[in-house]
Amino acid sequence: MSDEGIVLVAGGGGFIGGHLVHELARQGRKVRSVDCKPLDDWFQIEPDAECARLDLSDREACAAAVDGVDTVFNLAADMGGMGFIEANKARCMLSVLINTHLLMAALESDVDRYFYASSACVYAAEKQTDAEVTPLKEGDAYPAMPEDGYGWEKLFSERMCRHFREDFGLETRVARFHNVYGPFGTFEGGREKAPAAICRKIIEAKLSGRHEIEVWGDGEQTRSFMYIDDCLYGTQLIAGGDALEPLNLGSDRLVTINQLVDIVESIAGIRVKRRYNRFAPVGVRGRNSDNTLLEATLGWAPSITLEEGLESTYAWIHDQIVSRAPVAIARRRSA
Report the catalytic residues. 150
Q: Is residue 35 part of a domain?
A: yes
What is the domain-level CATH number for residue 311? 3.90.25.10
Q: Is residue 87 part of a domain?
A: yes
Domain count, the chain: 2
Verify that 96 and 149 share a domain, yes or no.
Answer: yes
Verify that 97 and 139 share a domain, yes or no.
Answer: yes
First to last CA, the chain: 57
Verify that 151 and 125 share a domain, yes or no.
Answer: yes
- Other C-beta atoms closer than 10 Å to the C-beta of 87 total 13
What is the domain-level CATH number for residue 240? 3.40.50.720
Verify that 269 and 175 share a domain, yes or no.
Answer: no
Verify that 318 and 294 share a domain, yes or no.
Answer: yes
Q: Please list the pLDDT of the chain residue by residue as tens digits (335 residues).
A: 556 799 999 999 999 999 999 999 999 999 999 999 999 999 999 999 999 999 999 999 999 999 999 999 999 998 777 788 888 899 999 999 999 999 999 999 999 999 999 999 999 989 999 999 999 999 999 999 999 999 999 999 999 999 999 999 999 999 999 999 999 999 998 889 999 999 999 999 999 999 999 999 999 999 999 999 999 999 999 999 999 999 999 999 999 999 999 999 999 999 999 999 999 988 899 999 999 999 999 999 999 999 999 999 999 999 999 998 544 333 333 33
For 91, 124, 251, the CA distances from 128, given in Å and listed in that order, are 24, 7, 16
Residue after which a domain boundary falls, among 249, 264, 299:
249
Give the bridge partners for 118, in sequence order. Answer: 176
Verify that 259 and 133 share a domain, yes or no.
Answer: no
pTM of the model: 0.93
For 189, 210, 255, 259, the CA distances from 276, given in Å and listed in that order, are 20, 16, 17, 14
Rounded distance between C-alpha atoms, residue 11 and residue 104, angstroms? 17
DSSP secondary structure letter of residue 263: H
Verify that 79 and 102 share a domain, yes or no.
Answer: yes
Q: Is residue 1 part of a domain?
A: no
Verify that 213 and 68 share a domain, yes or no.
Answer: no
- Other C-beta atoms closer than 10 Å to the C-beta of 76 total 27
Verify that 46 and 190 share a domain, yes or no.
Answer: no
Verify that 109 and 168 share a domain, yes or no.
Answer: yes
Verify that 142 and 270 share a domain, yes or no.
Answer: no
Give the residue numbers spanning the domain of 276.
Answer: 183-223+254-334
Verify that 77 and 174 share a domain, yes or no.
Answer: yes
